[in-house]
Structures are given as C-alpha cells and as structure tokens.
Amino acid sequence: AKLLQAAERPVLVVGSGLYYARGETALAQFLKQQRIPTLLPIWDRGTVDGPTEEFLGVVGAASGGPRLLPDADVVILAGAEFDYRVGQISAPGLAPDAKVVRIHADASRLRNGLEADLSIAGSPATVLRQLAEECRRLACPPAEAWLAEARRRRDEFRKQCLKTAERLRPGLNGCDVVQAIQQVVTEDTIWLVDGGNIGQWFHQLLPNRCPGRWITCGASGVVGWGLPGAIAARVLSPDRPVILLSGDGSFTFTVAELECAARQQLPFVAVVADDQRWGITASGQIKRYGEPLYSTLGPMRLDRVAEGFGCVGVSVERSEDLVPALREALSSDRPT
C-alpha cells in the first residue's frame, strides 16, 4: 500500500490466478477505489465481469498494445505469471526503476523468473481486499490523471487497429468478423477463441466485453482445441448459446469433430476466419521478409466440409451478410 501511496503511474496486471480465486468482487471494489489502469495477459482467464473504465485490455499481444508497462513506476501482478506476455518484467518492457509486486497463491511460483521487489504468497482475491483496506487507511489517492492518460493511449492504439482494417479492404477482414459477432453475443454467450491472427483481432477490439466469459488457449498459445472445446461447452451448458471463433488453420486441426457434434446433436456456431494462411505467422514474415514463407493454406470449402459431416455449412463473403448469417446459425438446432 505504501508503494501505491507514492506511485504516480501504477499498473495492475490480473491473471488467471485471480479468476480461479473467484476474485471478481475484490477486483471491482479495488478498481473503483484506486482507479488503477488494469491489464490482462493475453490468453488468460479474465476477472472483469462487466465494462469498467479501469480495464484497458490485454498485454502481450503479437499485434502490440498501448504503451503502459514501460512507463509504469509500480506494477502489481495479481495471479499473473512472469512470462513473455509481460515482457518477463524486465527492460525494455519495464522501466529499470519500476517497483514490482507479485501476488500468487502458490508460494513456489514467486521465485520463478525475476524476483519481485515484494512477493506475497496468498489468494490474489484475499490480498486485493486487504490491499484496498490498507489503501483506505493510508488515504492512498486514486490514480485519476494516469488512468485518463492510459485510456487516451488505449483509444489511440485502437484507432490504429481500425485503420489497419481499412487498409485490408475491399473484402472481409478480422475486424468485420469480430464486430459482427459483437452484435449477436449476450451475457449468456459462451465464447471460445481459437486461433492466432483472429485471436489478436478479438482481443484488441473487444477487451471490455466480460473477459471472465472468454475461453481461450491459455499461455501456451496452442491451437486446434476450439472444436472439442465448443462441444464440451455445449454439453456442460445446454441452455446457453455457444460461439467458437477460429482461424482456418486452427479449425482444421480437429475438423473431424464436426461429425461427433452432428451425431450427438450438439448445436453450436463455429465462425471460421478463412484467410488461407497461418495468419499470425504470415504477418510476421511479411513484415520481416516482404512475403509469407511456407505459411499459406487452402483454398478450402469449409462450408462443404461441414455439410459432409452432417452439419450446416454457410459461406459468407460480404460484411453485410455476417450478422444475418450469425443470427440464423444461432437459431439452428444443428452445429453450424
């Protein structure tokens, strides 16, 4: 709490450890009180259960993000890991004189990677509640000015993402797909995200849509789990809408599971962003070499593949057709 009392640019990074500690209420109360810019390591389970001014999206995306961690003077990791997504908490991803506080339920993890300035073994939810109480006792001021600057940086970065989408026209792009899905999801929707490139679009454009309800690959970055994951989500939650957002490469890892879903009458909606390449790999190669190297796929008619397995197959090529197609798919009693 004394570190926060003296801090001018604090940043809170909340990871899956806080989610599994059931820390939603503790986090919401802490943020309302201290107004600290808050980030989620990409692919982690989020603990923000609704839109909030303090939550500014993910950190560690291959597509970049607003400059926040490098300018922070105090960084608190609550249930988050020391790994590539937070720049290993070292320069240039972090200022050399920044103070690092790490909160983790597993004491053995506190010395993994670089040692923090302050390490606390305990439930991240419990520690955040205690930290809020101590901040009130010390009258730690809320970080209003820094939060306003952080939100400005976030908004500017998002504008750059949208400009990138415009440069990709004509034709569909990841931005179109994510914005279309945004119009049909509800608070009950279970949303699975499987894929590198389309996953980046998702995390950059929808960082504030209840991340506790996202299901992603986790820190390992694996792909191909989405179809089995959607089937499992439907079995566990038969009355909730299930949407899988996948890349074409990821989808084809386990595409035969469509037969399993059709045979067992487990309807869900799979939206496949088909760019005929390993998009996230190709993007890096184009940036470095000017062209993709051994990372192209297809072309594939995945709608016909779905039909062959007993599902509904739909091919959409225009952005204006996405939302109607999604609404029709959500009303179907077959995997679509």
Q: Which residues pair with 11 in a beta bridge?
A: 75
For residue 17, which phi and psi values (nearest 5 degrees)? -60, -35
Let me know whether 31 and 130 are in one domain: yes
Distances (CA, A) of 304 to 2, 186, 245, 319: 61, 29, 18, 20
Cα separation of 106 and 201, whole Å? Answer: 32
Let me know whether 184 and 132 are in one domain: no
Structural tokens at position 7: 């801090």
60 touches 86 (CB < 8 A): yes
* Confidence band, pLDDT 50/70/90 cuts, at residue 267: very high
Whether residue 111 is predicted with pLDDT greater than 70 in this model: the reply is yes
Q: Which residues pair with 269 in a beta bridge?
A: 243
Q: How many structural domains does the chain have?
A: 2
| Per-residue pLDDT tens digits for 160-189 | 878 876 776 677 888 888 889 989 988 889
**Per DSSP, which regions of the chain are E strands?**
10-14, 38-41, 55-59, 74-78, 99-104, 118-121, 190-194, 214-215, 242-247, 269-273
Residue where a domain stops, chosen among 101, 120, 154? 154
The pLDDT value recorded for residue 29 is 94
Let me know whether 46 and 193 are in one domain: no
Q: Which residues of 176-195 are buried (b: 16+ CB within 10 A; e: fewer)?
A: bbbbbbeebbeeebbbbbbb
Q: What is the CATH number of the domain that holds 96?
A: 3.40.50.1220
The pLDDT value recorded for residue 208 is 55
Distances (CA, A) of 255 to 123, 223, 250, 251, 331: 39, 12, 9, 6, 22
Helix (H) or strand (E) holding 16: helix 16-20
Higher pLDDT, 218 or 106: 106
| Per-residue pLDDT tens digits for 287-334 | 889 888 888 888 899 999 999 999 999 999 998 999 999 999 999 999
| Per-residue pLDDT tens digits for 81-90 | 888 788 777 7
The pLDDT value recorded for residue 169 is 67
* Confidence band, pLDDT 50/70/90 cuts, at residue 72: very high
Let me know whether 91 and 184 are in one domain: no
* Average pLDDT estimate for 89-96: 79
Q: Which domain holds residue 110?
A: 2-154
* Confidence band, pLDDT 50/70/90 cuts, at residue 93: confident
Residue by residue, DSSP assigns 56-68 as: EEEES-TT---S-
* Confidence band, pLDDT 50/70/90 cuts, at residue 33: very high
Mean pLDDT of the chain: 88
The pLDDT value recorded for residue 168 is 67
In this structure, is residue 149 part of a structural domain? yes
Our CA dihedral for 12, 16, 21, 26, rounded to 10 degrees, sits at 30
Residue where a domain stops, chosen among 129, 154, 179? 154
* The 99-104 sheet, strands edge to edge: 55-59, 38-41, 10-14, 74-78, 99-104, 118-121
Half-sphere exposure of residue 253, counting CA atoms within 13 Å on the CB side? 16
- CB atoms inside a 10 Å sphere around CB 311: 21
* Average pLDDT estimate for 108-131: 90
Q: In the structure, how many helices (H) and strands (E) does the chain have?
A: 13, 10
Mapping DSSP to helix (H, G, I), strand (E, B) and coil, where does residue 254 land?
coil
For residue 119, which phi and psi values (nearest 5 degrees)? -115, 130
| Per-residue pLDDT tens digits for 214-226 | 787 776 677 889 9
Residue where a domain stops, chosen among 154, 184, 205? 154
Highest mean pLDDT of the ranges 84-93, 154-163, 201-210: 154-163
In this structure, is residue 336 part of a structural domain? no
Q: What is the CATH number of the domain that holds 271?
A: 3.40.50.970
